[in-house]
């Protein structure tokens, strides 16, 4: 289980197999995570990729939303990832 802010979302083109993906950052760090050392390498636990298979969109999931995720974590392309997690939206950023 973890809590964080959605940093970005990725939509697949219609010609690709459907999945919806978001990158979540630690809830103590809304927005982009600063570089953490030489070469601009980020700590692996600062970001989590969340992937919903078979979906082209997930209601309420957009950049700036804070959510709680519950699921198993694996590695995908060197980044921790959760597939089809249970989630709860905690808050949304207000747009001006």
Q: What is the pLDDT of residues 45-83, one digit of tens each?
A: 589 999 999 988 899 999 999 999 999 999 998 889 999
Categorize the per-residue pLDDT at 14 as very low, low, confident or very high, splitting at 50, 70 and 90.
confident
pLDDT tens for 21-34 read 999 998 665 444 44
Q: 69: closest CA among 52, 85, 47, 49?
A: 85
Domain assignment present for 96 = no
Q: Measure the CA–CA gap between 87 and 64, rounded to whole angstroms.
A: 15
Domain of 56 in residue numbering reads as 2-33+44-91
Domain assignment present for 68 = yes
Domain assignment present for 38 = no
Domain assignment present for 85 = yes
Number of independent structural domains in the chain: 1
CATH number at residue 14: 2.40.50.140
Higher pLDDT: 26 or 86? It is 86
Reduced 3-state DSSP string for the chain = CEEEEEEEEEECCCCCCCEEEEEEEECCCCCCCCCCCHHHCCCHHHEEEEEEECCCCCCCCCCCCEEEEECCEEEECCEEEEECCEEEEEECCCCC
pLDDT of residue 56: 87
User: What phi and psi, each to the nearest 5 degrees, are found at residue 38?
Assistant: -60, 135
Nearby residues of 71 by Cβ (< 8 Å), 6 or more positions away:
82, 83, 84, 85, 86
Categorize the per-residue pLDDT at 7 as very low, low, confident or very high, splitting at 50, 70 and 90.
very high
């Amino acid at each position: 289980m973890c809590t964080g802010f959605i940093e970005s979302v990725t939509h697949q083109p219609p010609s690709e197999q459907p999945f919806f993906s978001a990158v979540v950052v630690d809830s103590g760090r809304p927005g982009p995570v600063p570089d953490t050392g030489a070469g601009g390498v980020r700590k692996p636990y600062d970001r989590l990729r969340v992937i919903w298979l078979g979906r082209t969109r997930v209601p309420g999931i957009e950049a700036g939303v804070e959510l709680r995720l519950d699921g198993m974590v694996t590695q995908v392309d060197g980044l921790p990832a959760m597939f089809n997690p249970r989630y709860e939206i905690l808050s949304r950023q207000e747009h001006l």
